[in-house]
Amino acid sequence: MTTLAGIILIGGFALLMLLRVPVSFAMLLATLASALVMDTNLSVMIRQMMDGANNFSLLSIPFFIVMGEFMGAGGISEKIVGLANLVVGRFRGGLAYVNVLDSMFFGGISGSAVADVSSLGSMVIPMMKKQGYDEDFAVGLTVTTACQGVLIPLSHNMVIYALAAGGVSIGTLFIAGLLPGILLGCGMLVMCLLMSRRYNFPKGVGVPRGARLKVLLDGILPMMTLVIIMVGTGAGVFTATESSAIACVYTMLLSIVVFRTVKITDIPGIIRNSLKTLAIVMTLLATAKAFAYMMTELRIPAAISAALLSITDNRYILLLIINALLLVLGCFMDMAPLITIMTPILLPVVTPLGVDPVHFGVVMIFNLAVGLCTPPVGSALFVGCAIGKTPIERTAKNMMPLYLVMIAVLLLVTYVPDTALLLPRMMMGYGA
């Protein structure tokens, strides 16, 4: 009976995904079918779904979502692009550098790769195409650099991992993701430098001297959101949840009072869009919680752990296998449900081998971020191709150099734990 239920749970979920059933409904239907076979009380499954969505730490997610909506509606992305252009726009291949740098800046505010592609891509991709850049390169660079948004705080995916892992500080995860996100950006800058020399990218246009101060001030004000989070959380002034609320209020004041790009009449529309996104996220978390509970009841995590350890107990080889597994899964599933499902399976495998839970969380989120820009389910890739009007198959093929940069930095973060743990140790005394 247990074997049959396990086949129904995993096989049914895979089949429904192949039939393009939305991931939330695929998990829910597979879980219900498996529970009926096991004669599990359905009230238990309902309770699991409620527990998946009813957690105080999840309160930070709606604040992050509302903040991102205000950023988009308030034209904050234009300020970020202007700041990045001020810093690197005048060099050869300047717009490519701007693309990387503005994603680093904006990702640290929005915490969402898709929001990054939507807001910045709609400006930078047409600009790059107009200056003569290859359209696939423009889209691919925008999509891959947007993955910094799930690493550099604020990232609601880190909140999800912390809850799935249990006992992991959200604030520590925020700090831990900063340096890997910067390393990814630096890797992309180096790739742009090499490609600009080989393909003779056009030289950028710098900001006129008289406009530099205004561009600098307009760009720094949104960046203060990241400073508030990093300093406040790192110094223990407020929790991650409190920091999300403060950052949200700060962003509202910027958009409504300082820049005056959002009117009071725009707020209902912003809240409506935020609720739509929040409903998707919370539904995913609720169904993923029930799915993970059913897997635990069927002892599937224990079987996977035993299978992995039967291959090797070498930490480095095991991390390589886990990275490969997550890269494949990330091609077919969204990040939030994968974090909820795979964390309880994989974390108990690696922690006895000396892998720090915070470090592993950064590796997992970085890994699954690659899935956001790989077909067939990569949401950031879909949005980027829609904006750039390029075919997904061709764009993904021409993105191979950028994928290689992401994999190289991922391996660096995987095998050099200090890339994730150095800042938490310095700022928060983590592990001392």
Residue 108's pLDDT is what? 58
Q: How confident is the model at residue 1 (pLDDT cuts 50, 70, 90)?
A: low
Q: Are 232 and 175 in contact (CB under 8 A)?
A: no
pLDDT in tens, 125-143: 888 888 788 888 888 888 8
Residue 247's pLDDT is what? 81
With 0.75 as the threshold, say if the pTM is over it. Answer: yes
pLDDT at 431 over 70: no
Q: How confident is the model at residue 416 (pLDDT cuts 50, 70, 90)?
A: very high
Residue 221's pLDDT is what? 82
Residue 375's pLDDT is what? 79
pLDDT in tens, 144-186: 888 887 888 777 788 889 888 887 888 888 889 989 988 998 9
Q: What is the mean pLDDT of the chain?
A: 83
Lowest mean pLDDT among 102-111, 332-341, 408-417: 102-111
pLDDT at 110 over 70: no
The tally of CA atoms less than 13 A away on the side-chain side of residue 147 is 36
Residue 58's pLDDT is what? 76
Q: What's the chain's length in residues?
A: 432
Q: How confident is the model at residue 355 (pLDDT cuts 50, 70, 90)?
A: very high
Residue 418's pLDDT is what? 93
Residue 328's pLDDT is what? 86
Residue 393 amino acid letter: E
Average pLDDT score over residue span 335-350: 87
Q: Are 63 and 247 in contact (CB under 8 A)?
A: yes
pLDDT at 430 over 90: no
pLDDT in tens, 206-221: 677 777 788 788 778 8
Q: Are 152 and 178 in contact (CB under 8 A)?
A: yes
Q: Which residue has the higher pLDDT, 421 or 293?
A: 421
Residue 152's pLDDT is what? 81
Q: In terms of Cα–Cα distance, which of 331, 399, 400, 314 is closest to 368?
A: 331
Residue 3's pLDDT is what? 81
Q: How confident is the model at residue 323 (pLDDT cuts 50, 70, 90)?
A: very high
pLDDT at 109 over 70: no
Q: In terms of Cα–Cα distance, which of 170, 182, 166 is closest to 236?
A: 170
DSSP code for 92:
B
Q: Are 424 and 430 in contact (CB under 8 A)?
A: yes
Residue 111's pLDDT is what? 62
Residues 79 and 81: their CA atoms lie apart, in Å, by 6
Lowest mean pLDDT among 18-32, 37-51, 233-247, 404-418: 233-247
Q: What one-character-per-residue DSSP string does 102-120 give?
A: HHHHHHHHH--HHHHHHHH
Give bridge partners of residue 203 from the DSSP assignment. Answer: 92
pLDDT in tens, 42-93: 888 888 888 877 777 777 778 878 887 787 777 777 777 777 777 776 777 7
Percent of the chain with pLDDT over 70: 95
